[in-house]
């Protein structure tokens, strides 16, 4: 029976440390500022943004949600971003994805000042991560939250065989880079991969980010493996479930993250911690 990695409890602990840093900054007259830009009225995005705003306020951050119409042009959106790039009360800019079809996400990501890129999706930040030069560099929050889990649960990475399912900019690619930097042997798999189960069954650590409910079953997992589930899916009854069939896999794994209360809370907690870090780094520069 696997140890269940308690993302919620770990996130609460991390939040406490972040709150202390917020207080320390306050003593220097700095309130970390986060703006979340929401384009259009996608329901899921609205929920995510509301959760981020609530959490930011709870943490004592200066939090703004900037709502923009779905009809906005790319140029107009980039102008809004540039406004926040220059706003010294804002340390962290997050553009909620996905964006409407008329807007190129990459152009928008690239328009964010890398020093305010709290999501870590700007190519210069991704490039620094790839070459393991991450000092004062924001890193994608989901993979970074997973690294915090490994550390908290003393899960060794050096020399371990890791299989990542998914190659997104948000999870798979930065996750792979972090793990290579931690001396793991990393295989990146995706929709074009043949014989996926052969690979996953060899993994000491399996990270699943495909967005398909119950994609990974017990027979796909090596006995004793660590299984990290990044999925936030709905099952046929509309219940929130992960990419991993938790009920059967937990008998086979040594560690497993549940959904909910696994990776999800760690992502938002890491976002808060990184907002504070960006404010700290900007203070260093000015000081």
Is 46 one of the catalytic residues?
no
Q: In angstroms, rounded to a whole number, what is the distance separating the alpha carbons of residues 115 and 124?
A: 10
Is 24 one of the catalytic residues?
no
Q: Which is nearer to a copy of itself, 45 or 193 (CB)?
A: 193
Q: How many residues bind a copy of itself (CB under 8 A)?
A: 33
Find the shortest distance in angstroms from Cβ 178 to a copy of itself: 12
Task: For the beta carbon of residue 283, count every other beta carbon within 10 angstroms.
Answer: 15
**Max Cα-Cα span within the chain:** 56
Question: What three-state secondary structure class fits 268?
Answer: helix
Q: Which of residues 158-197 bind a copy of itself (CB under 8 A)?
A: 158-159, 161, 167, 169, 173, 176-177, 180, 183-190, 192-194
Q: Which is nearer to a copy of itself, 185 or 248 (CB)?
A: 185
Residues near 160 by Cβ (< 8 Å), separated by ≥ 6?
Answer: 184, 185, 204, 205
58: its two tokens: 């709870």
Is 15 one of the catalytic residues?
no
Q: In angstroms, rounded to a whole number, what is the distance separating the alpha carbons of residues 158 and 183?
A: 5
x/- mask, a copy of itself, residues 115-154, rule CB under 8 A, reads ------xxxxxxxx-xx-x---------------------
Residue 279 in the binding site for a copy of itself (CB under 8 A) = no
Find how far residue 39's CA is from the centre of its chain: 20
Residue 277 and residue 148 in contact, taking contact as beta carbons nearer than 8 Å: no
The catalytically annotated residue of 119, 204, 243, 245 is 119
CA dihedral 134, 138, 139, 142 (to 10 degrees): 150
Q: Which is nearer to a copy of itself, 60 or 123 (CB)?
A: 123
Residues near a copy of itself, by CB under 8 A: 106, 121-128, 130-131, 133, 158-159, 161, 167, 169, 173, 176-177, 180, 183-190, 192-194, 199
Residues assigned a catalytic role: 52, 96, 119
């Amino acid at each position: 029976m696997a140890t269940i990695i308690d993302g919620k409890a770990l996130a609460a602990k991390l939040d406490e440390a972040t709150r202390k840093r917020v207080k320390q900054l306050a003593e220097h007259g700095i309130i970390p500022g986060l703006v979340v830009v929401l384009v259009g009225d996608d329901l899921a995005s609205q929920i995510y943004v509301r959760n981020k705003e609530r959490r930011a306020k709870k943490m004592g951050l200066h939090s703004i949600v900037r709502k923009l119409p779905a009809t906005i042009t790319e140029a107009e959106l980039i102008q809004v971003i540039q406004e926040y790039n220059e706003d010294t009360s804002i340390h962290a800019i997050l553009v909620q994805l996905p964006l409407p079809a008329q807007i190129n996400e990459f152009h928008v990501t690239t328009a964010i000042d890398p020093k305010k890129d709290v999501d870590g999706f700007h190519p210069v930040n991704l490039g620094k991560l790839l070459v393991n030069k991450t000092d004062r560099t924001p890193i994608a929050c989901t993979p970074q939250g997973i690294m915090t889990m490994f550390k908290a649960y003393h899960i060794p990475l050096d020399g371990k065989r890791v299989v990542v399912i998914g190659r997104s900019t948000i999870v798979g690619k930065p996750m792979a880079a972090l793990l290579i930097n931690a001396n793991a042997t990393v295989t990146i798999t995706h929709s074009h991969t043949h014989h996926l189960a052969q690979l996953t069954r060899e993994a000491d650590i399996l990270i699943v980010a495909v967005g398909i409910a119950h994609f990974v079953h017990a027979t796909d997992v090596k006995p004793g493996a660590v299984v990290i589930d990044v999925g936030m899916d709905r099952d046929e009854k509309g219940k929130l479930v992960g990419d991993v069939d938790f009920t059967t896999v937990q008998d086979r794994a040594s560690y497993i993250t549940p959904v909910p209360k696994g990776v999800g809370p760690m992502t938002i907690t890491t976002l808060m911690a990184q907002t504070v870090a960006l404010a700290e780094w900007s203070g260093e520069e000015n000081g």
